Amino acid sequence: MSGALFVVATPIGNLSDITFRAVETLKRSAYVLAESPHHSKRLFEAYSIDTPLVKYNDDYRVEDIIDRAVEDVKGGLEISLISDAGTPTISDPGYRIVKRFRDEGLRVEPIPGASALIAALSASGLPTDKFVFLGFLPKTSGRRVNVLRSADIDATIIFYESPNRIIKSLLSVKEALGDREVVIARELTKVYEEFITGGVDEVIDKLKAKPSIKGEFVVLVRKHV
């Protein structure tokens, strides 16, 4: 009997954005490793998935959980890995367990689906032939500027940002790259989904004009031309 770890993409907002294959895989798994089981319960309830959820993130009994998962799969079980939203291991916990499974020669199978960076890029109107993904930028201004400058190749630059740091990160974009065209995708697939486009200064002004800045952001910066 051959076990496996399934890396299952889940919706980034709209619960309808999950594949039939993902639901089937989650239902037949012995258990599901989840970044936040409490967060994932809403998805499981929506699709009548009663598979047990086991908490897995970088701060919670990491090695014990990985050891158990490895032994369970060696014993023939199929288990799944999910993040709070989107594709696991992309700026989310999970890469360590995948690496361990690969090192052990165990089967790891991706179940593709939603990804915030790809969704934002596809609808941004910026060049899509080449892009650089930076995840979340460093917290300090100097390091942010250095990372952005090092990524300034012939490609669209993409990174994630939180609402409380979005202005600071845009200012770092301007310092590192100039007043380039940027596209900000906010609350993708949700009720208040929004794309904001323009030069860095223009986008900052649009954000400052809002009563409050909410939601998670994907920031895309046009490549140097």
Phi (first) and psi of residue 187, to 5 degrees: 55, 50
Q: What is the mean pLDDT of each run of 10 residues along the chain (225 residues)?
A: 92 97 98 94 97 86 91 98 94 89 97 97 97 96 97 96 97 97 97 96 97 94 87
What is residue 224's predicted lDDT score, i.e. its pLDDT? 82
Alpha-carbon distance 136 to 172, whole Å? Answer: 13
What is residue 1's predicted lDDT score, i.e. its pLDDT? 58
Structure tokens at 15: 């619960």
What is residue 62's predicted lDDT score, i.e. its pLDDT? 84
What is residue 52's predicted lDDT score, i.e. its pLDDT? 98
Structure tokens at 57: 């993130």
Same fold flag, 4-111 and 116-221: no
What is residue 2's predicted lDDT score, i.e. its pLDDT? 81
Return the domain boundaries, the chain.
4-111, 116-221
Domain 4-111 sits in which CATH superfamily? Answer: Tetrapyrrole methylase, N-terminal domain (3.40.1010.10)
What is residue 93's predicted lDDT score, i.e. its pLDDT? 79
What is residue 60's predicted lDDT score, i.e. its pLDDT? 65
Beta-bridge partners for 136: 160
Q: What is the 3-state secondary structure (H, E, C) of 113-177?
A: CCCHHHHHHHCCCCCCCCEEEEEECCCCHHHHHHHHHHCCCCCEEEEEECCCCHHHHHHHHHHHH
Pick the CATH number of 116-221 from 3.40.50.2300, 1.10.1130.10, 3.10.180.10, 3.30.950.10: 3.30.950.10
Residue 223, judged by CB atoms within 10 A of its CB (0-12, 13-18, 19+), counts as buried
